[in-house]
Chain A
Amino acid sequence: MPSLTPSLVQIGKFFSRAAFAVFCGSAAAAAELPPAATGTVDFVRDVQPILAQNCYNCHGAHKHESQLRWDNKEIALQGGEHGPDIIPGQSAESRMIQLVSGAAPDLIMPQKGDRLTAQQIGILRAWIDQGAPWPASASVKAIDPRRHWAFKAPIRPPIPSVKNKNWPRNAIDSFVLARLEAEKLRPSPEADRSTLLRRLSLDLTGLPPTIQEMEDFLADRSPDAYENQVERLLASPHYGECWARHWLDVARYADSNGYEKDLSRSIWPYRDWVIDAYNNNLPFDQFAIDQLAGDLLTNATLADKVATGFLRNSMLNEEGGIDPEQFRNEGIIERMDVLGKAFLGLTVNCCQCHDHKYDPFSQKEYYRLFAFLNNDDEPGMEVPDQPTQARRTAIQRKIADIHDQLMAQYPDLPQKMEAWEQEMKAMEGTWTVLEPQAYYASVGTKFTKLDDNSLLATGSNPGVSQYTVTAKTSLKGITGFRLEALADANLPSYGPGRAANGNFVLSEFTVEASPDAPIATTNQVPLQNATADFSQPDFPVAAAIDGIITNKIGWAVEDLPGRRNRSRQAVFETKNAVGFDEGTVLKFTLNHSYGDEHTLGRFRLSLTTAPRPLRADPLSSNARAVLALPLQQRTLAQRRELFDFYRLTDSRMAEASKRIDDEQRQWPSAPTTLVLAARDQPRPTHVFIRGDWQKPGALVTPDVPSILPALPKVARLNRLTLARWLVNKRHPTVARVIINRIWQEYFGRGLVATSEDFGTQGDPPTHPELLDWLACEFMDSGWDIKHMQRLIAESATYRQSSVVNPRLQERDAYNQLLARGPRVRVDAEILRDIALSASGLLDGQIGGPPVYPPIPDGVLTLGYGAPMTWETKAGDRYRRALYTFVKRSVPYPSLQVFDAPTGESPCPRRTPSDTPLQALTTLNDPVFVEAAQALALRVWKQGGKDDRARLQFAFELCTGRLPRPNETAVLSSLLQDENHFFENRTARAVQVATLDIKNPPQDVNLERVAAWTMVTRVLLNLDETITKE
């Protein structure tokens, strides 16, 4: 069969054999086969066990090799991609029998495991000969994953009609009630007003209502009193904090890099961006686009770029001895995971090593998606706030004014500058860039050779390090070498060094030369006359050739603020011309002895044969470009730029230059944040064979999985296209996934309980129509998150009482049918915020750098290396828990114990637990003790004139409601016992009532306050206090 394509050769062989068998007559073929069993075969009793034992592994529920399944009647009888395997009534001609009997020796089934026995084959033959009867009840239901509900775009379903027309307040309720009515259940009555406001406040802001807020609401008898509360809370700046926290879980936000070193990082401006986005009700489509591709937007703002920190939240391994490329790839793999969990609701990472076992995604499709994320530099970017930016602009203007005055002041300036420009042009020099042959660092650090022959240092940065680079040249008469220290987006603060501020200290620079011959002596090349375009005061470039390797002095480049992180260069003359007839091998050694990460980040080496003396070019490359322009073509800004270099050479301008420096010194600093910056040249992306980055397979281009809508044809294949595609209305999962997670925060469980997985292995939605209606409403509203919050918060479904009756509990333990309101323990952060809020300690400041509230001794030492500095500053103690520094390897104990994620992987849903360690935390953690003490003092001072009033005040602060009589009785009795106990025990009372026993609160009866502390501690530990009812 010459027309067969190679991939069909196997089949061709079979068919030719089968044809041969037919040619020879079935009797001849059958003669090679074990005889059919005699007697009637029962499929379930006799045949299915053989199939299950021998075939299901490759042709069953999990794998469908050759698109064939032996557990499903239709598919089995129809056959897989090779055509029918069974011809009923003709066992000898059936492909199945041919393959199991070994009649086709190059393809024997099963391919793994034992061969079938003659007896088993006989049974199969008899079954086929008897017509292959297969009862439908013995067939597994085969589901085509491509038809899975979540892969079809949601269509807005009609709102169902319900019998009880009075109950629904909006569409949500009609869907919920229709289901309840079908289940013969009734919704619960509305929760009482105090429960409702507390629930709503905790859900929208993560803070309990104040007593005043509660009183206002209880007094407001207007019909839209509740709706007004929804509006008030949505407008609160704390709304953004609360909902940012949910998003930050899936964004795996943390303030440290993770892995062994787990050093601190600055990315909190991203966290604040998320808070602002919620507070400003940024439409979700824009919210997504900014985070995935804000830097690629036309006229991208600073905020747009800050948003790309979303992807930068992946961990960074700085352990000594790693291969940075391995962990760069692992970072992208992690970003794929977050893309899957945050937006797609799909477990795409299953395809890192192989095609998805359950969902219709191939490994190749995975790497096509990967290719979108594989093309970025990873800089840290300055984020000046508005006042800082204004001050900077003012400084720039002042300096420009000085420039302009100087340029106008001296009539002879044109002539002087003309002469200077000629001099500058003459000294540009000719440099030959060297291509590094071998390059390595003494410890840990690895280098990437870039296209311009510069080397970029990556991976671990031990601080004290020796770089060695070898290069070859055929030039002779070498008079000097140039070392360019280059700024780069992938370095801290853009480099050119690797210290946090982008600086380095080059302690010593040496060169050895040898003839390019098999056996050659190597000689040190004596260097002299070191010059640099800039040297930091006390770190002159001459120190780099002072012959001392180990001292901390060397060439460094930190200029005044606002002038840092620029490319710099140093030039070293050779004492004697260098160069051999055979060619010359040069070995450069760059020593860094300063420590504290002060190593070079990106650098390039060149040489020259120009006559000495040599001098480092004082001009920047920009200024050089201006210099090349004719005078008339230069803009004012360009003229200033060039003049900025000239003025340094004109002694008449020394005083003005000092004034400029003085202005520059005022340059205000700004925080930095991690962002993405697209590379000009995309990296090639390969399929990694079995997920191993060291085994690149086929080259792939960016594309999206075929089960999902296609990309627009004209689109550029970059992150921006990917982001826009995600929030396209035809996208089947994104709107559902997002609205489901919003729902989950209200009800403690999503309509799809597996909120991270909408694939075939995820839970089906409890209310599919409601989910689709919400998804459509979300998109049609312009992805308006606050609109969706209103819908849910104002629904009758949400307002139900959460009281559980035993019958309902037995019937629907997880409240999937929504016949009652949610009752869930609050999140770790909110739990702490409630205690601080009730006690009046809470500092409500929004945003800013992470804070360091007190942490117990010994916690920080659980991580590797020296424990980080954890200094509790004034103002750190009582901020909302959201702002606590998130250290990945050592999570903050009271947050971790209540199930807060560590930021090591995306967390679309927390797994709540209830443990004794939680009880110990709320009982004994000094933060909670302090809250109890502050609450006691507050109660004592403000709680009213008698203990009864105080008790009500305290109880309401914690639970949002007044105590019932038996609760009053228990608490009064406790108070009485404690009052009695502390009587005449002043010292103990001081201990219990205050953390600072040397400065106890004045003007109060400390014995009574101590007794109250015992009561308030109980109140703060109540299940109800830490629960949203």
Chain B
Amino acid sequence: MNFAEHFFHERRKAVTRRYFFNQCGVGLGALALASLLRGNDGFAATAGNPLSPHAPPFPARAKRVIYLFQAGGPSQLDLFNHCPGLAKYDGQPIPKEIVKDQRYAFIKPDAALFASRFQFARHGQCGAELSEALPYLAEVVDDIAIVNSMTTPAFNHAPAQIFMNTGSTVFGRPSMGAWVSYGLGSESQDLPAFVVLSSAGGTSGGSGNWGAGFLPTVYQGVAFRRSGDPILYLANPPGITPAMQRRSLDALKELNQDRLDVVGDPEISTRINSFEMAYRMQTTAPELMDLAKESKQTLEMYGAVPGESSFANNCLLARRLVERGVRFVQLFHEAWDHHSDVTGGIKKECGATDKPCAALIKDLKQRGMLEDTLVIWGGEFGRTPMVETNKEAGRSQGRDHHPQAFSMWLAGGGIKPGLTLGKTDEFGFNIVQDPVPVHDLHATILRLLGFDHTKLTYHFQGRDFRLTDVEGELVPKLLA
């Protein structure tokens, strides 16, 4: 029996018993009854709720995740991976033996090398190299681990995003956030387990990036909206006050309870519980979204402005969400597809994201939450060492998609701080040391959360599916 079936089975058992005790007047010791009915209405916190929190099989270093997904493919060569070969051979064609038979989305394989227009320098005690485009990240560089040797098989946006988020280029698999919610449940009684926040453009992978796939929908990421109510249909209809809503829900609860008594279907008690949680969500979520409650200092640190929709606001919201027990928060910032003017693009997007990313690390740290919150930063692939220029398309000084080698960073939650992992050749084209395929990253993330990635499975269509499909090796060097 897999996780989900187990929960549902347990829930049914629990409900049946309660129904049995209530309806049939079977006596039971107070202690045993209490153990069955713990939680505020008997079910929210029992094993019956598929989102009730549960401990992972192994000791966890991270209890929650904030994944800052930088969609579009940020240029690792202008941010993290300092490749002197690029400057040395700037403008010359890349050697054929390096490119081999790699296909490209737009450019031809013999395009000229293109040196980064950013200066790199070493920062912090760890001495990690960062580009000048990331001045704020430089301040927390001792708290993060940079991986310069990420690699993915997919090199078009939608499949690559789906791969990074679900472990497969095929649509319809559960996303990482869904797997984690399935494995760990939620610490929050009145917010979803998995929340999605977005800034900049819509994502190429669409809602499949945070979908539940074949897992029950309850594990799906809930995309908070940028304006208006954060959660769809959160607000009462016009003219209906919270008191009126409460009256309605009381009547509804009574009627549903009455029906449960008649037909005995435990599903009804789940429904009663869902309505109660919805009501709680109606109060919690607006309070959560109200950034004006944050100190001026905090707002300034993130660069957040109450009432706006921005990556900075989303970073601050992410902290507020995990504080309230949300298990997995994923930010999507779809803005890094710099086929043209990569330098200008990097400046612009770093301007929007560098400060809030660093602020999030600092803020979590000062609140003592960084040690058990895993923060992940990265996109679906990297960008080419070669220039993309195309007069007809109005493109110049850009970079094309590059799947072989790209960079991400991770922080907190058991990640070894101050580490720079992996090396590429002098052009940043191929990895020469410590490659980290996406499935290995997934395996490592799951391990930090207390799972053996091969064991967190869901039986579907004849086999046990998992986030890492049939691959995945732990990356021990990343662990603190």
Instruction: Say yes or no: is B1 at the interface (Cβ < 8 Å to chain A).
Output: no
Task: Tell me the B196-218 residues at the A interface (CB within 8 Å).
Answer: 198, 201-208, 211, 214-218
Whether B227 pairs with A1018 at a CB distance below 8 angstroms is no
Task: Tell me the A660-680 residues at the B interface (CB within 8 Å).
Answer: none
Q: Which residue of the partner chain, among A358, A891, A915, A974, contacts B274 with CB atoms under 8 Å?
A: A915
Whether B172 pairs with A347 at a CB distance below 8 angstroms is no
Instruction: Say yes or no: is B122 at the interface (Cβ < 8 Å to chain A).
Output: no
Chain A, 310-351, contact with B by CB distance < 8 Å: what is the 0/1 string? Answer: 000001010111110000000000000000010000010010
Known pairs A443-B390, A888-B206; A992 contacts B237 (CB<8 A): yes
Whether A442 pairs with B105 at a CB distance below 8 angstroms is no
Instruction: Say yes or no: is B77 at the interface (Cβ < 8 Å to chain A).
Output: no
Known pairs A443-B106, A899-B217, A914-B270; A864 contacts B258 (CB<8 A): no
Whether B216 pairs with A911 at a CB distance below 8 angstroms is yes
Q: Which residues of A contact B240 (CB under 8 A)?
A: 992, 1014
Q: Which residues of B contact A162 (CB under 8 A)?
A: none
Instruction: Say yes or no: is A792 at the interface (Cβ < 8 Å to chain B).
Output: no
Most chain A CB within a 10 A radius of its CB, from B105, B172, B277, B392: B392
Measured between alpha carbons, how far is A754 from B458 in the docked complex, in Å? 13
Instruction: Say yes or no: is A941 at the interface (Cβ < 8 Å to chain B).
Output: no
Q: Which residues of A contact B9 (CB under 8 A)?
A: 813
Whether A806 pairs with B264 at a CB distance below 8 angstroms is yes
Most chain A CB within a 10 A radius of its CB, from B205, B267, B461: B461
- CB-based nearest B residue for A321: B105
Q: Which residues of B contact A916 (CB under 8 A)?
A: 192, 274-275, 277-278, 281
Measured between alpha carbons, how far is A765 from B203 in the docked complex, in Å? 42
- CB-based nearest B residue for A813: B12
Instruction: Say yes or no: is A118 at the interface (Cβ < 8 Å to chain B).
Output: no
Chain A, 926-963, contact with B by CB distance < 8 Å: what is the 0/1 string? Answer: 10010000000000000000000000000000000000
**Segment at the interface with A among B16-24, B113-121, B360-368:** B16-24
Whether B170 pairs with A905 at a CB distance below 8 angstroms is yes
Q: Which residue of the partner chain, among A761, A1014, A1029, contacts B244 with CB atoms under 8 Å?
A: A1014
Whether A1018 pairs with B251 at a CB distance below 8 angstroms is yes
**Segment at the interface with B among A31-39, A238-246, A603-611, A1019-1027:** A1019-1027
Instruction: Say yes or no: is B455 at the interface (Cβ < 8 Å to chain A).
Output: no
Whether A1022 pairs with B264 at a CB distance below 8 angstroms is no
Instruction: Say yes or no: is A466 at the interface (Cβ < 8 Å to chain B).
Output: yes
Q: Which residue of the partner chain, among B205, B206, B268, contacts A1023 with CB atoms under 8 Å?
A: B268
Distance of A204 from chain B, by nearest CB (Å):
22
Q: Which residue of the partner chain, among A857, A902, A966, A977, contacts B227 with CB atoms under 8 Å?
A: A857
Distance of B325 from chain A, by nearest CB (Å):
14
Whether B392 pairs with A858 at a CB distance below 8 angstroms is no
Q: Which residues of A contact B12 (CB under 8 A)?
A: 809, 813
Instruction: Say yes or no: is A805 at the interface (Cβ < 8 Å to chain B).
Output: yes
Whether A862 pairs with B218 at a CB distance below 8 angstroms is no
Instruction: Say yes or no: is B3 at the interface (Cβ < 8 Å to chain A).
Output: no
Whether A974 pairs with B267 at a CB distance below 8 angstroms is no
Whether A322 pairs with B105 at a CB distance below 8 angstroms is yes
Chain B, 363-407, contact with A by CB distance < 8 Å: what is the 0/1 string? Answer: 000000000000000000000000000111101000011000000
Instruction: Say yes or no: is B256 at the interface (Cβ < 8 Å to chain A).
Output: yes
Instruction: Say yes or no: is A304 at the interface (Cβ < 8 Å to chain B).
Output: no
Q: Which residue of the partner chain, among A857, A896, A977, A989, contacts B247 with CB atoms under 8 Å?
A: A977
Most chain B CB within a 10 A radius of its CB, from A350, A823, A889, A923: A923
Q: Which residues of A contact B236 (CB under 8 A)?
A: 923-924
Whether A862 pairs with B217 at a CB distance below 8 angstroms is no
Q: Which residues of B contact A897 (CB under 8 A)?
A: 217, 232
Q: Which residues of B contact A924 (CB under 8 A)?
A: 233-237
Instruction: Say yes or no: is A920 at the interface (Cβ < 8 Å to chain B).
Output: yes
Instruction: Say yes or no: is B55 at the interface (Cβ < 8 Å to chain A).
Output: no
Measured between alpha carbons, how far is A919 from B231 in the docked complex, in Å? 12
Distance of A987 from chain B, by nearest CB (Å):
8
Instruction: Say yes or no: is A803 at the interface (Cβ < 8 Å to chain B).
Output: yes
**Segment at the interface with B among A254-262, A385-393, A512-520:** A254-262
Instruction: Say yes or no: is A359 at the interface (Cβ < 8 Å to chain B).
Output: yes
Q: Which residues of A contact B202 (CB under 8 A)?
A: 861-865, 867
Known pairs A315-B171, A890-B207, A971-B251; A1023 contacts B16 (CB<8 A): no
Instruction: Say yes or no: is B263 at the interface (Cβ < 8 Å to chain A).
Output: yes
Instruction: Say yes or no: is B262 at the interface (Cβ < 8 Å to chain A).
Output: yes
Instruction: Say yes or no: is A777 at the interface (Cβ < 8 Å to chain B).
Output: no
Known pairs A761-B463, A1023-B256; A803 contacts B158 (CB<8 A): no
Q: Which residues of B contact A805 (CB under 8 A)?
A: 264
Q: Which residues of B contact A466 (CB under 8 A)?
A: 392
Q: Which residue of the partner chain, among B203, B205, B247, B263, contacts A802 with CB atoms under 8 Å?
A: B263
Chain B, 127-159, contact with A by CB distance < 8 Å: what is the 0/1 string? Answer: 000000000000000000000000000001111
Whether B24 pairs with A806 at a CB distance below 8 angstroms is yes
Measured between alpha carbons, how far is A809 from B216 in the docked complex, in Å? 22
Q: Which residue of the partner chain, among A810, A992, A1021, A1023, contacts B239 with CB atoms under 8 Å?
A: A992
Instruction: Say yes or no: is B255 at the interface (Cβ < 8 Å to chain A).
Output: yes
Whether B239 pairs with A806 at a CB distance below 8 angstroms is no
Task: Tell me the A751-783 residues at the B interface (CB within 8 Å).
Answer: 754, 756-757, 759-762
Whether B256 pairs with A1022 at a CB distance below 8 angstroms is yes
Tell me the dominant secondary structure on chain B's binding face. mixed
Measured between alpha carbons, how far is A315 from B169 in the docked complex, in Å? 13
Instruction: Say yes or no: is A893 at the interface (Cβ < 8 Å to chain B).
Output: yes
Known pairs A317-B156, A1023-B268; A863 contacts B218 (CB<8 A): no
Whether A1022 pairs with B259 at a CB distance below 8 angstroms is yes
Whether B271 pairs with A889 at a CB distance below 8 angstroms is no
- CB-based nearest B residue for A985: B239
Instruction: Say yes or no: is B266 at the interface (Cβ < 8 Å to chain A).
Output: yes
Distance of B284 from chain A, by nearest CB (Å):
11
Known pairs A858-B226, A864-B334, A914-B267; A974 contacts B463 (CB<8 A): no
Whether B251 pairs with A974 at a CB distance below 8 angstroms is yes
Instruction: Say yes or no: is B58 at the interface (Cβ < 8 Å to chain A).
Output: no
Whether A864 pairs with B206 at a CB distance below 8 angstroms is yes
Q: Which residues of B contact A902 (CB under 8 A)?
A: 172, 207-208, 211
Q: Which residues of B contact A358 (CB under 8 A)?
A: 462-463
Known pairs A321-B106, A806-B19; A967 contacts B274 (CB<8 A): no
Whether A323 pairs with B278 at a CB distance below 8 angstroms is no
Whether B278 pairs with A970 at a CB distance below 8 angstroms is no
Measured between alpha carbons, how far is A902 from B334 in the docked complex, in Å? 22
Instruction: Say yes or no: is A67 at the interface (Cβ < 8 Å to chain B).
Output: no
Distance of A315 from chain B, by nearest CB (Å):
7
Chain A, 77-88, contact with B by CB distance < 8 Å: what is the 0/1 string? Answer: 000000000000
Measured between alpha carbons, how far is A1014 from B177 in the docked complex, in Å? 37
Instruction: Say yes or no: is A13 at the interface (Cβ < 8 Å to chain B).
Output: no
Measured between alpha carbons, how far is A696 from B304 in the docked complex, in Å? 53
Known pairs A259-B158, A321-B105; A359 contacts B462 (CB<8 A): yes
Q: Which residue of the partner chain, among B192, B206, B277, B463, contacts A347 with CB atoms under 8 Å?
A: B463
Q: Which residues of B contact A1029 (CB under 8 A)?
A: 263
Measured between alpha carbons, how far is A859 from B157 in the docked complex, in Å? 20
Whether B251 pairs with A970 at a CB distance below 8 angstroms is yes
Q: Which residues of B contact A490 (CB under 8 A)?
A: none
Instruction: Say yes or no: is B308 at the interface (Cβ < 8 Å to chain A).
Output: no
Instruction: Say yes or no: is A917 at the interface (Cβ < 8 Å to chain B).
Output: yes
Q: Which residue of the partner chain, among B217, B233, B238, contacts A925 with CB atoms under 8 Å?
A: B233
Task: Tell me the A808-866 residues at the B interface (CB within 8 Å).
Answer: 809-810, 813, 823, 825, 856-859, 861-865
Measured between alpha carbons, how far is A319 from B281 in the docked complex, in Å? 38
Instruction: Say yes or no: is A904 at the interface (Cβ < 8 Å to chain B).
Output: yes
Instruction: Say yes or no: is B425 at the interface (Cβ < 8 Å to chain A).
Output: no
Closest 5 CB pairs of A and B: A321-B105, A889-B206, A991-B239, A442-B392, A905-B172
Not counting A321-B401, A911-B214, a sample of 7 additional A-B residue pairs whose C-beta atoms are within 8 angstroms of each other reads A317-B158, A321-B105, A862-B198, A888-B206, A889-B205, A919-B275, A920-B233
User: Which residues of B pack against A, CB within 8 Å?
Assistant: 9, 12-13, 16, 19-20, 23-24, 103-106, 156-159, 170-172, 192, 198, 201-208, 211, 214-218, 222-223, 225-228, 231-240, 244-245, 247-248, 251-252, 254-256, 258-259, 262-268, 270-272, 274-275, 277-278, 281-282, 334, 390-393, 395, 400-401, 461-463
